[in-house]
Chain A
Amino acid sequence: MNIVNFAHGDFLMLSMFVSFWLYALVGLDPLFSIPACALLLFALGLLIYKFAVSRVMRGPMLAQLVVTFGVSIFIANTAVLLWTPDYRLIDKTLLSGTWHFGTVQVSVPKVVTSVGSVLVSAALYLFLTRARMGKAILATEMNRDSALLMGINTDRVNAISFAIGSALVGIAGAFLSMYYYIYPQVGGMFGTISFAIVALGGFGSITGAFIAGILVGLVQTLGGYFFDPAYKYAIVFFLYLLTVWIRPQGLLGW
């Protein structure tokens, strides 16, 4: 449906706060708040789509571009108002500590997050390629008019895909809240990098985004370690520029 969601980082922040409040108020471990975060963010995605995005889908291109930007500013500032700009951390989680393999140290929550992310990516892939709704989403993405001619309710498909994207960032937020600090502007840098990853992988390609995500993570960490940490983001974005120079559609884009 070709909408860039600039509020993606803020959705991440909201999910982290959901996870935090479930922990602070009911004592629920972030691991178990994953379904709640996913569901709530799915609902939020539907709402935002219905009341903001779908309205401008028929409007000019520029309106489509800035609508989620407005949503982003609204969410971030409301969060500051509601929860103060302070930093919060969930300090006692089921999964904590570090595994040591010789000289290699791996943080337990980060390992679980990686495994969880792979599982979710696989599930998404299966959904898109096997499920009826998933195929409809892919069809709409490929060619909206043809999909419409085939009897696909593209407006509904758009709403669902927007909501699924939102639910996915909800899951990411719950995982991240296990080890990352939470504050109203936390989404900023994550949002920027996620755009680079999607563009690097190729818009519309799940496999591409998956590979690009791992690539960016590796380049950032190893580049920082062996070259110079000051340039680690420069290396990542250089890789991105290099890729779009050679393959403007991204690694696996059409």
Chain B
Amino acid sequence: MAYTKGNLVKVVVSLLALIGPAAALAQAPKVVKIGAVYPLTGNIASTGLDCRRGAELAVDIINGKYDMDLPLARTEGLPNLGGARVELVFGDTRGEPKNGIAEVERLVTQEKVVGIIGAYQSSVTKTASQATERLKIPYVCYDSSSPTLTQSGYKYFFRASPHDALFARDQFNFLKDMEKKGQKVQTIAVLYENTEFGANVGKEVLKLAQEYGYKIVENISYAANATDVTSEVGRLIKANPDVLMHASYITDAILFTKTFKEMNFKPKAIMTFAGYIEPAYLPAVKADGNDIVVRSTFALDLAKNKPLVGKVNELFKKKYGVDMSENAARSFTAPFVLADAINRARTTEPEAVVKAIQETSFGPNQVIYPWQGVKFDPQSHQTGDVAARGGRRPGALPPHPLRETPCPSNSSNSSSTGCSSGASTRSSPSGSRSSGA
């Protein structure tokens, strides 16, 4: 065959055609899509916005170059996948369980996401995790706290945060501490919104009250979208408990706070879960939100012991103009877990990613919250699952200097009450939130 110019071109072209697909195979995808489902509209849209910000900042850090101990911070993108960038694709659940399924299905089948994070409300996470289980797509949740979520034995669902069983126990330990300081507490009323999250907190509180020797004098569940809660508060007044424990979302937290004030319901302590910690809560109720104890998994004063918290908050503030809230901090961790696993797996193939998630090991300095890091229980896929490891005496928590302890709000000198970092303190009646402990 004569090697004319034309033939040479043909040979080169066919060679390229041969190499082409092989090169594409070796080359990792340029973009790794992660689906994030949050209540971006609907009753608790303000919460959804907050979560969205935390997840977005996490992805900024993964994709950019930052001198921080967070996983993947010092490199651009995912180094093992040729520096592929992570991209978040959002799905709006409107806070409804049925949309949890629909949005996960849409994100997986149409947007081709390789993993899911979200969905804040436990009831929505429950349905969303059923969808990922069916679609065989890894789901890393940080922001839903109902204990039952990791009790279904799901293969693709992981939770990187402790759950309400631990939070409720901490509230009771705090109560015991207050008793040691001379407060007399005998009776507890429990009040909770009636979906997955609230109902399970209610269950935990009832169980723990018995264990810690308190008498439950009232047990009320209610619809979180109620427009009037006079009858609920009326029953609380009649029961006259020493302490009220309340698991709520944000709108019902505002409504109850107003109704407590209006009907003059004043127990010795109001100890709460979730709704009361939202950044939108205090600006709405102002001084009426003082003197309420709330559990939080994050507070800015953690920066004293963990410089990473300060650095991350600086970035957050630069980007959004406000301090990082608990919701933002919670949704911040899940993208790291997922991206780190994909990076180690060197592929986005679900089975390999799930295996890599299982082998996740973040140290205490690689996370911005007060626990030991992230390590999943092989059965439950729950991080730091105290119960799953068994053998621990009831009431005894793993010792850690930054263990979460609730703080009484509005105490300018909360160190005297023995609360440590990781708790939220409301110190100013003007509505600005300071987290100094």
Decide if B228 touches A181 in the complex (CB within 8 Å): no
Encode contact with A along B218-255: 1 for CB under 8 Å, 0 otherwise: 00111101111111101100000000000000110011
Decide if B43 touches A181 in the complex (CB within 8 Å): no
In the complex, B263 has a CB within 8 A of chain A: yes
Interface residues in A63-86 by Cβ distance below 8 A to B read 76-77, 80, 84-86
In the complex, A185 has a CB within 8 A of chain B: yes
Report the minimum CB–CB distance from B166 to chain A (whole Å): 26
Report the minimum CB–CB distance from B199 to chain A (whole Å): 10
A87-B255 Cα distance, complex, nearest whole Å: 11
A200-B258 Cα distance, complex, nearest whole Å: 30
Decide if A87 touches B251 in the complex (CB within 8 Å): yes
A222-B230 Cα distance, complex, nearest whole Å: 9
Decide if A221 touches B228 in the complex (CB within 8 Å): yes
A88-B284 Cα distance, complex, nearest whole Å: 5
Interface residues in B156-170 by Cβ distance below 8 A to A read none
Decide if A230 touches B220 in the complex (CB within 8 Å): yes
Interface residues on A, range: 20 to 34
Report the minimum CB–CB distance from A105 to chain B (whole Å): 5
In the complex, B49 has a CB within 8 A of chain A: yes
In the complex, A188 has a CB within 8 A of chain B: yes
With A89-B286, A225-B231 as known contacts, state yes or no: A184 contacts B45, CB within 8 Å.
yes
In the complex, B75 has a CB within 8 A of chain A: no
A185-B48 Cα distance, complex, nearest whole Å: 14
Decide if A85 touches B45 in the complex (CB within 8 Å): yes
Q: Which 3 interchain pairs have the tightest Cβ spacing?
A: A224-B231, A85-B45, A87-B284
Q: Inside 8 A of B281's CB, which chain A residues have their CB? A: 87
With A229-B232, A233-B226 as known contacts, state yes or no: A86 contacts B46, CB within 8 Å.
yes
In the complex, B264 has a CB within 8 A of chain A: yes
In the complex, A127 has a CB within 8 A of chain B: no
Q: Inside 8 A of A188's CB, which chain B residues have their CB? A: 43, 225
Contact of A105 among B49, B229, B264, B285 (CB under 8 A): B264
Interface residues of B (CB under 8 A from A): 41-46, 48-49, 194, 220-223, 225-232, 234-235, 250-251, 254-255, 258, 262-264, 280-281, 283-286
Closest to A182 in B: B284
A24-B231 Cα distance, complex, nearest whole Å: 32
Interface residues in A115-166 by Cβ distance below 8 A to B read none
Decide if B284 touches A89 in the complex (CB within 8 Å): yes
Decide if B41 touches A85 in the complex (CB within 8 Å): yes
26 contacts between A and B (CB under 8 A): A84-B49, A85-B41, A85-B44, A85-B45, A85-B46, A86-B46, A86-B280, A87-B250, A87-B251, A87-B254, A89-B254, A89-B258, A105-B262, A107-B262, A189-B225, A189-B226, A220-B228, A220-B231, A221-B228, A222-B231, A223-B231, A224-B230, A224-B232, A230-B194, A230-B220, A230-B221
In the complex, A36 has a CB within 8 A of chain B: no
Q: Inside 8 A of B46's CB, which chain A residues have their CB? A: 84-87, 183
A228-B219 Cα distance, complex, nearest whole Å: 10
Decide if B49 touches A98 in the complex (CB within 8 Å): no
In the complex, A175 has a CB within 8 A of chain B: no
In the complex, A232 has a CB within 8 A of chain B: yes
In the complex, A238 has a CB within 8 A of chain B: no
Contact of A221 among B42, B43, B230, B254 (CB under 8 A): B230
Q: Inside 8 A of A225's CB, which chain B residues have their CB? A: 230-231, 234-235
Decide if A189 touches B285 in the complex (CB within 8 Å): no
A91-B283 Cα distance, complex, nearest whole Å: 10
Report the minimum CB–CB distance from B268 to chain A (whole Å): 20
Report the minimum CB–CB distance from B200 to chain A (whole Å): 15
Report the minimum CB–CB distance from B320 to chain A (whole Å): 12
Q: Inside 8 A of B221's CB, which chain A residues have their CB? A: 229-230
In the complex, A49 has a CB within 8 A of chain B: no
With A85-B46, A185-B43 as known contacts, state yes or no: A229 contacts B231, CB within 8 Å.
yes
Q: Inside 8 A of A180's CB, which chain B residues have their CB? A: 227
A86-B264 Cα distance, complex, nearest whole Å: 26
A178-B183 Cα distance, complex, nearest whole Å: 37
A180-B225 Cα distance, complex, nearest whole Å: 13
Contact of B45 among A80, A223, A229 (CB under 8 A): A80
Closest to B279 in A: A86
Q: Inside 8 A of A230's CB, which chain B residues have their CB? A: 194, 220-223
A105-B221 Cα distance, complex, nearest whole Å: 23
A85-B45 Cα distance, complex, nearest whole Å: 6
In the complex, A190 has a CB within 8 A of chain B: yes
In the complex, A240 has a CB within 8 A of chain B: no
Contact of B235 among A91, A184, A220, A229 (CB under 8 A): A229
